[in-house]
Amino acid sequence: MAIEAGLGDLPLFPFSSASASWSNDPVSFLQSLCHTVVVQGVSAILAFPQSRGEMLELDFISAALRIPVVSIVLGEFPRRSLSSKFHLGSIINITANFTSTSDLLNYLQFYLESIKDTSTMVMFGCDMEKTRRIFEITTQFVMPAELHWIIGDSQNVEELRTEGLPLGLIAHGKTTQSVFEHYVQDAMELVARAVAAATMIQPELALIPSTMNCMDTDERNITSGQYLSKFLANTTFDGLSGHIKVKGSSIVSSENNFFIWNLQHDPVGNPMWTRLGSWQEGKIIMDYGIWPEQAQRHKSHMQHPTRLHLRVVTLIEHPFVFTRDVDDEGLCPAGQLCLDPLTNDSGVLDNLFETLQGGNDTVPIELKKCCYGYCIDLLEKLAEDMNFDFDLYIVGDGKYGAWKNGHWTGLVGDLLAGTAHMAVTSFSINTARSQVIDFTSPFFSTSLGILVRTKDTAAPIGAFMWPLHWTMWLGIFVALHITAVFLTLYEWKSPFGMTPKGRNRNKVFSFSSALNVCYAILFGRTAAIKPPKCWTGRFLMNLWAIFCLFCLSTYTANLAAVMVGEKIYEELSGIHDPKLHHPSQGFRFGTVRESSAEDYVRQSFPEMHEYMRRYNVPATTDGVAYLKHDPEKLDAFIMDKALLDYEVSIDADCKLLTVGKPFAIEGYGIGLPPNSLLTSNISDLISQYKSHGFMDVLHDKWYKVVPCGKRSFAVTETLQMGIKHFSGLFVMLCIGFGLSILTTIGEHIVYRLVLPRIKKKSKMKYWLHTSQRLHRALNSSFIEEKHQPKKKRVEKRAHVGNSQHAVWNTANLGNCHRKKYICTNEGQNEVTIYQHQDVPLPQGRTETPPSLTTNGKAESLHTARTSVLQELTELEKQIEIIKQELQLAMDRKSELEEYARTNRTAEP
């Protein structure tokens, strides 16, 4: 049959004794069974016979195949007395049916009066309800103080209660009930241990079946099954169902260890079941304990009973154990005095504590420390309730404990060596440690976690764009250009717009003007702009201003938070994260050496443990320091989450963070030597502390600290933004300088190459709605005299209601061709150049050298003044002529504009 019991599936034989008619043809049956077993290389057979006949059949099969058969049979051993020293006295049979409680009371009263001199009362066959009823009745009688009550039937220790039971009651039973699967696993472990032992001596005989033909028997050579049977008969171990051993080379027995319990008062005065001893291999092994009357006798004879004195070892782990230096006198104003001897030698510790307790204290002050913390408070509470004193010291090697070089190190090693009686710290309970030492019930539950460090990265070049999403930036600039288009359309379609058709304005609102307005409003630029004149355009411009106000407010509000830089960290989902199982080059993570975290990783993920061994640290504080070091020595640190959470809460820089899902749930317990007398009592007290809220008080005291996220001093530093935060703006400005040079080159290319080609096409010269400068460049004439030097004079003159600027240039007086250029301001500074060649200009004065007199002197000054006055008169005449021509030109212009306006109105 196939049974899944945690060790894999066993091969299933395709027959059973109930269905096969093997008794009719046993030879054929054995041949078939032999081939099946031999082919599969079976070393032993696990069977579950249901009757004596099936056991005989299995015995026949084992003898024929020469393979051991391990059978699991459920049976109870008959109850019999193994001691001849004690004999039962009076027997009270209360199994008779009583019609009322009064009848039972009278019945018990009659017999209890006759056995008052009895020292021990043993009850059999009563469940706990009937037992409590009997004790309720017996309380009405005055029974002797020396009377001991014993429950003879085995009890389930986990279901034992204390209500209604007398002090001093003795009971026995198992802590856990064995189930069928436990026996199956123990049977398979028995075979596995025997095969392993046989393989160490003759592996070829233990692993390779020597029987090839069951019908061909050779008594001269030993078979594999016979060889294995010798080791099966000598295999003994403690299994799940009890102590496994083989009796008489054929009977495998599983003996449970029965524990003996006594109902006594705990240190706080409450009734509590206390373990007195155990029944192992037919012997009673007493732990400790005295009868209640003996306790009274001790109290009466001893005025000052001796207190239990224990030596306690601890390990520094915040917040469970802290240390600080002692004062100048070597004392601890607060906390417990502890020694840091830096050794595990029991002899050295004995001498140090003897010296410390003696009158002449010569212990070096550097070895003295003051210990305090979560576990120290718990230890003080236990010492008070259990009435014991203790000496406290710090473990010499600073390790929790692991199997290394053939012995246990750290706390476990001190407990096994007898150096310490108790280990109190953040001591994780795991399977390996529980097999060699005792643990109390856990006083703190936790799991393993991963600690990383956040990094404040410098703001990148484009960080100033981060307050708004890229879609928002795109939407803003798309909306800007759409608004500019609509502003231009509304202005040109309105009768009041700033256009050539709108109320004869001198300026024109083009698309470039609309862009200038929109960009100025968006960025708050104070440069001069041409706002739209029509009502619709102004309304749309104000709507655009409201839109920009909300966008810039949102941008400004988020700018400070974004510009300080993003906090990045190693994102790990948990222990199964690919970064841990397949670490990239340079990714470093570790844990504390010889801790439960390292033991978990070593057993669960051997390859990961092999990689992280080089990065493991001696203590938790070292791992945290490696994370916070600049540059980092670790990228992630794996340790108990209870310790990591505390380190995160006290981190002044707020750079530590636990990530990923918790894993490997575990608990902290108090370590004790194996089979310690204090294990059960301390466990019971810890359970009481939990139910009464004492453990919650300790947790709030040592874990309720101010989170680093609420500390104001850290916020002030992060908001101080330097030039590195705005480096992108400086880069953008430099890029703008470069682009401006390219824009200048582009202007020259357009002016010298593109515009001349557009001028040749008469249909593409109207660009006033797009750009006035482009329109003026396409519709103006330019005359450039390169060979004649010119002098420009600018005069301001007024004519009717128009303000005009006239610039006229005169050539050299010696040049016979004189030309004059007049620039008039029409529209928006639109320049039209007129060439006046028919206007006679005054002849300039010929520059001749002055004549000399006979005495060599120059002519008089009167002659020079006369020539200057003549030239001024001629210039005034010329100015009057030009004024008349300008007046005629302006009148003609007005007529042409009125004519053009009339024709445009008359068009359908």
Q: Is residue 359's pLDDT more than 50?
A: yes
Q: What integer is the mean pLDDT of 772-792?
A: 52
**Dist. CA 889–CA 896, nearest whole Å:** 11
Q: What is the structure's pLDDT at 559?
A: 76
Element (H, E) at 664: strand 656-668
| Residue 802: pLDDT over 50 | no
Whole-angstrom Cα distance, residue 865 to residue 861? 7
Three-point CA angle 304, 308, 311, nearest 5°: 145
Residue 592, pLDDT above cutoff 80: yes
In the block, residue with structure tokens 């496994």: 244
| Cα–Cα distance measured from residue 823 to residue 831, given in angstroms and rounded to the nearest whole number | 6
SS (H, E, C) 841-854: CCCCCCCCCCCECC
428 is in an annotated binding site: yes
Mean pLDDT on 86-112: 63
Query: Which burial class, exposed, middle or buried, applies to 762 when counting CB atoms under 10 A from its CB (0-12, 13-18, 19+)?
Result: exposed
Residue 640, marked binder:
yes
> Binding site annotation covers 220?
no
pLDDT in tens, 560-569: 666 655 566 6
Alpha-carbon distances of 215 from 13, 205, 221, 510, rounded to whole Å: 20, 20, 15, 115
Cα of first residue to Cα of last residue in the chain, in angstroms, is 107
Which structure tokens are listed for 766? 């109207």
What is the reported pLDDT for 371?
Answer: 92
Distance CA 817, CA 788 (A): 10
What is the predicted pLDDT for the residue at 99?
A: 59
Cis amide leading into 631 (omega within 30): yes
Secondary structure of 855-871 in HEC code, one letter for each residue? CCCECCHHHHHHHHHHH
Query: Between the ranges 5-19, 229-243, 642-656, 701-715, where is the mean pLDDT highest?
Result: 642-656
Q: Contact at 8 Å (CB) between 662 and 641? A: yes
Quick one: pLDDT at residue 159? 66
On the question of a cis peptide bond just before residue 319, with omega within 30 degrees of 0, the verdict is yes
Residue with tokens 């706002």, as numbered in its chain: 531
How confident is residue 45, by pLDDT bands cut at 50, 70 and 90? Answer: confident
pLDDT digits (tens, 9 = 90+) for 61-70: 777 777 787 8
Q: Is the pLDDT of residue 794 over 60?
A: no
Q: Please tell me the distance from the alpha carbon of residue 375 to that of residue 372, in angstroms, as a whole number.
A: 8
> What pLDDT band is residue 292 in, cutting at 50, 70 and 90?
very low
For tokens 């020694």, name the residue.
339
What are the backbone angles phi and psi of residue 810, rounded to the nearest 5°?
-115, 140
Lowest mean pLDDT among 193-207, 590-604, 665-679: 193-207
The answer to whether 668 and 444 have CB atoms below 8 angstroms apart is yes
Statement: residue 314 has pLDDT above 90: yes
Q: Is 599 annotated as a binding residue?
A: no
Higher pLDDT, 860 or 448: 448
- pTM of the predicted model over 0.75: no
Tokens 């259990």 sit on residue: 386
Q: How far apart are CA 16 and CA 746, in angstroms?
A: 100
Q: Tell me phi and psi for residue 670, to 5 degrees.
A: -90, 125
Backbone conformation region of residue 391, classed left if phi is above 0, alpha if psi is from -120 to 50, else beta: beta
Q: What angle do CA 391, 395, 401 make, to 5 degrees?
A: 130
SS3 per-residue string spanning 236-273:
CEECCCCEEEEECCCEEEEECCEEEEEEEECCCCCEEE
Give the pLDDT band (50/70/90) at residue 820. very low
Pairing of strands 802-810, 791-799: antiparallel
Beta carbons of 463 and 728 less than 8 angstroms apart: yes
Is pLDDT above 80 for 798? no
Q: In what helix (H) or strand (E) does residue 111 lie, and over which residues does it extend?
A: helix 101-114
Q: Is 321 in contact with 428 (CB distance < 8 Å)?
A: no
Count Cβ neighbours within 10 Å for each residue of 801-827 and write b for 16 or more, e otherwise: eeebebebbbbeeeeeebbbbbbbeeb
Mean pLDDT score, 505-513? 78
**Mean pLDDT value of segment 74-78:** 58
Q: Regarding predicted confidence, which is higher, 817 or 583?
A: 583
Least confident among 114-118, 619-623, 755-759, 893-897: 114-118
10 Å Cβ neighbour count for 609? Answer: 17
Going by the DSSP 8-state scheme, the letter that residue 462 receives in this structure is G
Locate 649 and state its tokens. 């809460």
Instruction: Compute the distance between CA of residue 126 and CA of residue 151 in angstroms, rounded to an integer.
Output: 8
At residue 377, the pLDDT reads 92
> At residue 387, what is the residue type?
N
Determine if residue 306 is left, alpha or beta; phi over 0 gives left, psi from -120 to 50 gives alpha, anything else beta: beta
Give the percent of the chain with pLDDT over 70. 62
d(CA 720, CA 210): 84
Indicate if the pLDDT at residue 887 is higher than 50.
yes
* H helical segments located in 362-469: 374-386, 410-417, 431-434
The yes-or-no verdict on residue 821 having pLDDT over 50 is no
Q: Which residue has better confidence, 33 or 482?
A: 482
CA distance 485 to 493: 12
Summary mean pLDDT of the chain: 72
Whether pLDDT at 844 is above 90: no
